[in-house]
Amino acid sequence: MTALETSGKADAPAAQAAGADAGDPIRAARRRDTIRKYLEVALFVGPALVLFLVFVVYPVVSAMRYSMYQWNGISQFSDATFIGIENYARALWGGTDPETRQAFLTAYTEPFWQALGHNFAIIFLSMAVQLPLALLIALTLNRKFPGRASVRVIIFAPYVLSEVIAGVMWMIIFDPNGIATEFARAIGLDMPAGGWFEDQTWGFWTVFSIITWKYVGLAIILFLAGLSGVSEDLQEAAAIDGASWFQIQWKINIPLIGPTIRIWAFLSIIGSIQLFDMVWVLNRGGTTGQYSTIASYMMQIGFFRSDWGYGSAIAVIMFLISFTIAIFYMTTILRQDSGRGASER
Amino acid sequence: MRHTTRALSITALALTTALVATACTTGDTEPDSSSSGSDTPTDEQVTLTWWHNGVAGDTGENSLGDYWDQVAADYMADHPNVTIEIEQIQNEDLQRTRIPTALQSGDAPDLFQQWGGGEMKAQAEAGYLMDLSSVLSDDIDRLGGAVAPWQADGVTYGLPFQFAVEGVWYRPSLFEQAGITSEPTTMDELNTAVQQLKDAGITPIAVGAADKWPAAHWWYNFALQSCPQDVITSAGDFDFSDPCWVEAGNQLEEFLGTEPFQDNFMSTVAQTGATSSAGLVTNANAAMELMGQWNFFVYQGFTDGSDEQIQALLDDLDWFPMPGISGGAGDPTAAMGGGDGFSCYVDAPAECADFLSYIVSDDVQRGFVEAVGGLPVAPAASDAVAEPVNQEIAAAASEAAYVQLWLDTDLGPNVGGAMNDGIVAIFAGTGDAQSVVDVMTAAAATAQ
């Protein structure tokens, strides 16, 4: 941001003065430079900007527009009924009409909060379960031992696998007659009463365990990369001073990979809000939404139930949540981490 | 600058979430009804585009798609000025994505798959469909009552090429093993049969509740028998105040109380794999399944495809109509059913209606039965139905007091989808009879 502003300010007087100084060869050359610079910027930024406007800004603005209408996706949009914030009200508090509120609470508000609740539960559990787990594994692996590269590849493999393939694979594993059921029986347990995925209580936990398996590898690899940047001198010095392995991790390694942990946390939060592929493959968020997410709910209602206005309202809510988190991250944590990085250098 | 780039990229990441819901944008293009062709075909060169759902299955075979190719070729041979361009599209893509976007863009196929009911009504109200009432009046008379789901407000917007009622498929050998001597005709008899099968250690009924609609069909049938004919046939008006709609849920809850279904029915899909409901019946791991006529083919798909295996299956496969409840306000001989048809786009050339008339003609319908095995709509083609079980289903349809279109199709995707969600919640134990009516009422209040 700073670089752009500085160059802009420096060029402005030159551009203004250029017309009056046509006879001055130095100023004319400077003017040519300025024009060239603007042309270069236009050439390099232009195509990306056009794509961004057409494929990002326009759809977002369209979704915001659709979200104000009752539209079945079949008739022309020009025939749709404008209903203001009603779609948002249906999702958030049962609509604006007290007469239909009870029915709307059952039909719209409850499934919406159920789905959003799952997103936030996954965010919370990522921090409470995946983070310590990934840190523990990364710190354990952060040393030289035979087969280190192979272990890292194995840990990272689930993350590389496509969501759809992984989803189908776990569906087979968690089939009522699958390996998971046999394993549970072998250790004296049984499958949850309603099935691994469909049980009202256990369905969510089954899916969360799959998500953990799928994404913990990314955290481990990021943390290992961060750890490789921590100077060995610091660790050796601490060891000479009598610090235990635990103290070295707690006092040196973990604080020094703080920025990596925070960028992972950010990616994990945004990923949790947008979680879709996996839950969709696993029967579209569950027959009664036991593990639905806001994205699967949006797809279910907007696309398959052809309630495009309401579906767009859900999309906008999801966008606003992601956007708020992104802005918060950039204005506080990222700025702080970048600033610290610069001062350390 | 680095911050700006990162800000942009992160913003882009967040913004992309909204793309999913808006991938399909509308062109606000009104169909131009004034430019539609004349009512009678001419000798001018015309091209008809035709979208249907006959795609190759897992085995690579595509009897329906191949048959439509043949029908188009025959028609073109008789009408040298007509070129028919066919696109085969998988059913769900066709119904949920391709047809709606094509209609809104104003560049729709001339002839396309039509399932009838609520969605067709919405298409008709938007002015996308050709009125076939007068131009095909002879065909409409010839095909009879099965055309009703392709009509709205007295206007015919499409014609079906196959139509069938649903009922209970069962394995006679398992019935025999359990000591059941006759097909149940009432719910009481069905409950007795369920108990006899359980006593013999046999899973009585398979249901693919994970797919939602197979579970919902039980409720449809209870509604059909609980509701007077005028209430259920006017369900598309979205008035669910009659207590019979709640009664349907009560009937279902009572039936679920007898535990008639297989273990883990909420995790069971309808048609894929040996543990699907169809797989359970084919492998004689369950005795019965409530399903449409298409399961005649689905069950055969679980054999190795050899004539011997298929014959062995057919020898031990039978069908009876959904048993009637006692004391319901509905007609116990009414049946649930549905089928497939085609509509012409409003701007399509006149040859579209002529070709559609050809598709439902007696000879082409007879060929359809022989090549594909479905149940025809044209009465004159019914003599081509060879399998006894299919003959039985065809007879049940003609003997039914009336045939009600699948309720989810009839009510359209929004209210129909809400209904299916509500019903499956009863199966899962999280919903009740009243909540089904509540979610239907709520969705109806938002439907245009």
Is B212 in CB contact (< 8 Å) with chain A? yes
Alpha-helix residue ranges (DSSP H) falling in A105-231: 110-125, 131-141, 148-160, 163-173, 179-186, 202-228
* Cα separation, B196 vs B193, whole angstroms: 5
* Residue B39 pLDDT: 60
Q: How far apart are CA B18 and CA A322, in angstroms?
A: 10
Integer Cα distance of B308 and B262 in angstroms: 28
Q: Which residues of B touch A295 (CB under 8 A)?
A: 17, 20
Residue B1, in any domain of the structure = no
Q: pLDDT by residue (tens digit) across B33-62?
A: 444 445 667 778 999 999 999 888 766 778
Closest of A285, A288, A306, A287 to residue A297, by C-alpha: A285
- Are B253 and B329 in a shared domain? yes
User: Helix or strand or coil: residue A201?
Assistant: coil
Which residue among B123, B430, B431 sits closest to A74, beta carbon to beta carbon? B123
The residue among B167 and B92 whose pLDDT is bigger is B167
Q: Is A306 close to B430, i.e. CB distance below 8 A?
A: no
Q: B155 in contact with A at a CB cutoff of 8 Å?
A: no
Does residue B397 sit within a domain? no
Does B131 reside within a domain?
A: yes
Say what the pLDDT of residue A21 is: 53
Of B103, B267, B442, the CB nearest to A100: B442
Confidence at residue B145, expressed as pLDDT on a 0 to 100 scale: 83
Asked whether residue B293 falls in the same domain as residue B175, the answer is: yes
Helices A258-273 and A131-141 sit at what angle, rounded to 10 degrees? Answer: 140
Residues A199 and A180 sit within 8 Å (Cβ to Cβ) = no
pLDDT in tens, B118-133: 989 989 999 999 999 9
Letter string b/e over residues A295-315, b meaning 16 or more CB atoms within 10 A of that residue's CB: bbbbbbbbbebbbbbbbbbbb
User: Please, which residues have CB within 8 angstroms of residue A328's CB and are 6 or more apart in sequence?
Assistant: none
Q: How many domains are contained in chain B?
A: 2
Residue B12 forms part of a structural domain = no
Domain that holds residue B105: 34-163+338-390
- Alpha carbons A99 and A87: distance in angstroms, whole number: 16
| Boundary-marking domain end, from B346, B363, B390 | B390
Q: Based on the fold, state whether residues B49 and B130 are members of the same structural domain.
A: yes
Q: Which two tokens stand for residue A87?
A: 């779609």
SS3 label, residue B219: helix
Q: Which two tokens stand for residue B252?
A: 């279902």
Tens of pLDDT, residues A24-71: 888 888 888 899 999 999 999 999 999 999 999 999 999 999 999 999
Q: Which two tokens stand for residue B188?
A: 């009481």
| ipTM of model | 0.83
C-alpha distances (whole Å) from B105 to each of A288, B90, B130 are 35, 20, 17
3-class secondary-structure state, position A295: helix
Question: Does residue B8 carry a pLDDT above 50?
Answer: no
Place of tokens 């245009």: B448
Q: Please list the residues that pair with B405 across neighbouring strands.
A: B337
DSSP-assigned letters across all residues of B331-342: -TT-EEEEEEEE
List of chain A residues whose C-beta atoms are within 8 Å of the C-beta of residue B417: 301, 304-306
**Tokens matching residue B399:** 């003997």
Q: Are residues B149 and B171 in the same domain?
A: no
Query: Closest-CA residue in chain A for B127?
Result: A75
Dihedral (C-alpha) A20, A26, A30, A31: value to the nearest 10 degrees? 30
pLDDT attached to residue B382: 87
- In chain A, the residue whose alpha carbon lies closest to the alpha carbon of B105 is A76
pLDDT, position A27: 87
Read off the pLDDT band of B174 (50, 70, 90).
very high
* Residue B89 counted as domain residue: yes
Q: Does B143 map to a domain?
A: yes
Given a contact cutoff of 8 angstroms between Cβ atoms, the answer to whether B249 and B426 are in contact is: yes
Residues 6+ apart with CB under 8 A from B360: B139, B143, B159, B160, B161, B377, B378
- Which residues in chain A are closer than 8 Å to B19, comparing Cβ atoms? 55-56, 59
The helix (H) or strand (E) run that includes residue B88 is: strand B82-88
Residue B10 lies in a domain: no
A66 CB neighbour count, 10 Å cutoff: 27
Positions of chain A with pLDDT under 50: 1-15, 17-19, 341-345
Return the sign of the alpha-carbon dihedral for residues B357, B362, B364, B369.
positive
Q: How far is it, in rounded angstroms, from Cα B120 to Cα B107?
A: 18
Instruction: Report chain A residues whose CB lies below 8 A from the CB of B26.
Output: 76-77
Domain match, B187 and B223 both: yes
Q: What is the CATH number of the domain that holds B156?
A: 3.40.190.10
Contact A76 B212 (CB under 8 A): no
Q: Are residues B378 and B250 in the same domain?
A: no
Whether the CB-CB separation of B351 and B426 falls below 8 Å is answered with no
pLDDT at B238 over 70: yes
Q: Please report the pLDDT score of residue A99 as a whole number.
A: 87
Of B201, B157, B161, the residue nearest B178 (C-alpha): B201
Is residue B323 domain-shared with residue B349, that is, in the same domain?
no
Contacts of B2-11 spanning 24+ positions with Cβ under 8 A: B3/A1, B3/A330, B3/A338, B4/A1, B4/A4, B6/A330, B6/A334, B7/A330, B8/A52, B10/A326, B10/A329, B10/A330, B11/A323, B11/A326
Cβ contact A55–B19 (<8 Å): yes
Among B9, B11, B22, which would you mutate to test the A interface (most chain A Cβ atoms within 10 Å of its Cβ)? Answer: B22
Pairwise CB contact (< 8 Å): B18 & A316: yes
Residue B26: pLDDT band (50, 70, 90) is very low
pLDDT tens track for B294-351: 899 889 888 888 889 999 999 999 999 999 988 889 988 899 999 999 999 999 999 9
B23 touches chain A (CB under 8 A): yes
Q: Band of the pLDDT at B14, cuts 50, 70, 90?
A: very low
Classify strands B167-170 and B159-165 as parallel, antiparallel or unpaired: unpaired
Token pair recorded at residue A14: 């030159």
Res A191: pLDDT: 85
Q: Is residue B11 part of a domain?
A: no
At residue A333, the pLDDT reads 85
* Interface test with chain B among A75, A78, A175, by most B beta carbons within 10 Å: A75
Model confidence band, residue B6 (pLDDT cutoffs 50, 70, 90): very low
B99 and B143, same domain (yes or no): yes
Question: What is the distance between the alpha carbons of residues B261 and B288, in angstroms, rounded to a whole number?
Answer: 9
Q: Give the angle subtended at the CA of B266 by the CAs of B262 and B267, to the nearest 5°.
A: 90
Cβ distance of B438 and A326 shorter than 8 Å: no
- Give just the sign of the alpha carbon dihedral B298, B302, B305, B306: negative
User: Domain check: are B142 and B229 in the same one?
Assistant: no
Task: Indicate yes or no: CB of A76 within 8 angstroms of CB of B266.
Answer: no
Burial of A234 (0-12, 13-18, 19+ CB in 10 A): middle
**Cβ separation A334–B209 shorter than 8 A:** no
B206, B223: one domain: yes
Domains (range + CATH), chain A: 2-62 (no CATH), 111-344 (1.10.3720.10)
Please answer whether residues A198 and B269 qualify as being in contact, where contact means their C-beta atoms are separated by less than 8 angstroms: no
Tell if the CB–CB gap between A176 and B263 is shorter than 8 Å.
Answer: yes
Same domain, B139 and B226: no
Which residues does chain A have within 8 Å of residue B122's beta carbon, measured at their own beta carbons? 72, 74-75
Confirm or reject contact between B96 and chain A (CB < 8 A). Answer: yes
Q: Are residues B342 and B331 in the same domain?
A: no
* CB proximity B326 to A under 8 Å: no
